[in-house]
Amino acid sequence: MPKRVRVKKTTQPVRPTLGANVEIASAGQVIDSPITETLRVNYMPYAMSVIVSRALPEIDGFKPAHRKLLYTMYGMGLLKGARTKSANIVGSTMHLNPHGDAAIYETMVRMGRSNESLLVPFVDSKGNFGKAYSRDMAYAAARYTEAKLEPVCEELFRDIDKDTVDFVPNYDGTTTEPTLLPVTFPTILANNTLGIAVGMASNICSFNLRELCAATVALMKDENADLKEILPAPDFVGGGSILYDAAEMESVLETGRGSVRVRAKWSYDKANNCIDIREIPPTTTVEAIMDKITELAKAGKAREINDMRDETDLNGLKLTIDLKRGQDPDRLMARLFRTTPLEDSFACNFNLLIGGQPQVLGVRQILTEWTAFRVECVRRRVYFDLQGKEKRLHLLEGLEAILLDIDKAIAIVRETEEEAEVVPNLMIGFGIDEAQAEYVAEIRLRHLNREYILKRTAEIEELKKDIEDLRDTLDRPARVRRIIMAELEAVAQKYGKPRKSEILYDAAVADDEEESAAPAPDYAVTLFFTRDGYFKKITPQSLRMSGEQKLKDGDELIFTAEATNNTELLFFTNHCQVYKARVADFADGKASVLGDYVASTLGMEEGETPVAMVPTADYKGHVLFFFQNGKCAKVPLASYQTKQNRRKLLKAYSDKAELAALLAMTEEQELAIFTRASAGDRLLLAGSALIPAKTTRDTAGVNVITLKRGARIARVVPAAGLELSDEHRYRVRKLPAMGALLKAEDTAEQMTL
């Protein structure tokens, strides 16, 4: 049964006139309503509006806001005319898009050439339009900047006045607007598009225009064409180097999902001993890169850097890193690629609207859908031309009929007493219809010469040939497809440009070899981790020579284990994040020192502290997160393994409830779950195998213990170390369970532990 909600009507009295006090019927009553009905009536219309009419692009490559803006600029004559103030454009666009001038102007800014957001910009901008690669370089107000349409926009509106697309009334019915634009090339893949709807999102990367047109032509010729040979990788407006991954690229082309790794392009200035970065990934900004490098420098992980500054000017982006004398720039950049956004991934999610329905399609399917859309546009254009020529032919055939006896036509007109009878009399006199007679009657007196009539009637044969050709085009789909292919080739030749992003086919392999070429020395160590977040690694020799462990006042050891220097460490924090490190990243310590403060060493956020440490060499086993609300999340340790050696993972565990205990285990074992409540403490013994594993790291978990009001999980420990008077009293074989009240003798055991 669906959950029901109680809705109380609290409508205030309505006062339609002075002195009147009219109460609404049934006001103040409480009614039961299914929550599903509330969602359907109140939430679904909003969700569908965002999905269908705002956030997701359609097959022509535009969201409604972009389409309305471009069509307004087209109607203002900004395709051929001079630039006008952006404020004028924004004001005119509000006839179609009444969502506020700020939102409209932001849309136009992103499409501007000088903003450098789009690989194929549509707005020829003048003035400060900001930069997509900088979060601090804001654009100027609309009253200061100017804009017009780029020449490529001619391909967006070609033949739009020939009924190639449908038009619908605008929001107030005062004018009409196109539902789609009859684009002559696949704009949906020519520019990157990001859209966040309700329950779904879209993130489309851009491809080189020449390669895209060539791929579309190849698919029209052979639907099984190998796209990887024609469309090897995306192309981003900011350039950069794409680290080619055949499997990921295959996934993007065929399914529309996958990721593309992009690396910044840099050069070393030997004379000034500095590194110049001029191209960065499209997913980051200059400020984000500088913030991360600054963070590494403060943590002592970028000691080679002497200074860093942003030298971006009219020539474009430039980030300069000054090096200390004698440093290796290649080694530094390899580390920065691993630890900063100088190398980042573009997550592809090709979600777009096809016939009003959101679909995730691969590049092959998108180009196929676009071809079908373009075929319909061309057929409608041909049919429009056919109708125009047929109408013209019909009129000229009526003119030809009077050619035999012009004097008769003149006599009919002269002898007709009333003007309204001229057309009917011509129809009777020459056997023509009303439209032909109307055309003949409108001929000027100066055109009643033989030369004019012969010239007009000479068009008849040419019109018949054109009509026959147009009908043949409509009857033969192959001819329509050849028209589209010719248009694509013309677009590629006229507007195509060389790739901006280079493709590196062996960069990933080289990085792996560099990592494995010089591994850290491996030797046995003992690991110590304290409640306040201090970490020590001590060699067996030093451990035998040292005495008692030195700890901060009030601190205590919560984890001790034997490991090796190449073991990986996972530090789970109170912000539900996990930081990854290797034992080799920490210096060998002694029992007489406090050790490394992990929060500072790993650069954790303000107020963030580690709550548990999990060492692993092979990422086998599970991590169990017990929450105070009685739930437990069992997550495979492999869920925290990453190929890119990421140092920080978000959403390491659920934040829905307070964490009570964290246990890592390589094999199943029996656990002792202690609960605390005012009515008495309880204990539950259960095998970890009874808890199902979840692949999602931040899962809320499953109920393992039934808690009474005010009760909570106090702690969880392996049951093997307990000495209980009657362990069968606490053991269960099915979860969730309540457990049993602790006996007095077992309570003492708990306090000892």
Cite the active site residues. 144
The type of residue at 526 is T
For residues 360 and 369, give the distance between their C-alpha atoms in angstroms, rounded to a whole number: 12
Give, as one character, the DSSP assignment of residue 112: B
Torsion (CA) 492, 495, 497, 499 in degrees, nearest 10: -70
Closest by Cα among 746, 289, 278 to 297 = 289
For residues 132 and 125, give the distance between their C-alpha atoms in angstroms, rounded to a whole number: 14
Q: Bridge-partner residues for 615, per DSSP?
A: 569
Enumerate residues 6+ apart whose C-beta is below 8 A from 465: none
E strands within 244-311?
257-263, 265-269, 274-279, 305-310
For residues 333 and 331, give the distance between their C-alpha atoms in angstroms, rounded to a whole number: 6
Indicate the SS3 state at residue 353.
strand
188 near 59, Cβ under 8 Å? yes
Indicate the SS3 state at residue 319.
strand
| Alpha helices (H) along 562-657 | 598-601
Cis peptide before 736 (omega within 30 of 0): yes
Indicate the SS3 state at residue 173.
coil
351 near 201, Cβ under 8 Å? yes
Closest by Cα among 306, 309, 341 to 324 = 306
Closest by Cα among 610, 502, 494, 511 to 279 = 502
How crowded is residue 540: how many other Cβ atoms within 10 Å of its Cβ?
12
Q: How far is CA 442 from CA 188, 389, 411, in A?
A: 49, 19, 15
The type of residue at 561 is A
Q: How far is CA 315 from CA 114, 136, 240, 518, in A?
A: 12, 18, 17, 40
Closest by Cα among 734, 726, 728 to 706 = 734
Residue written as tokens 């656990």? 671
Enumerate residues 6+ apart whose C-beta is below 8 A from 267: 275, 276, 278
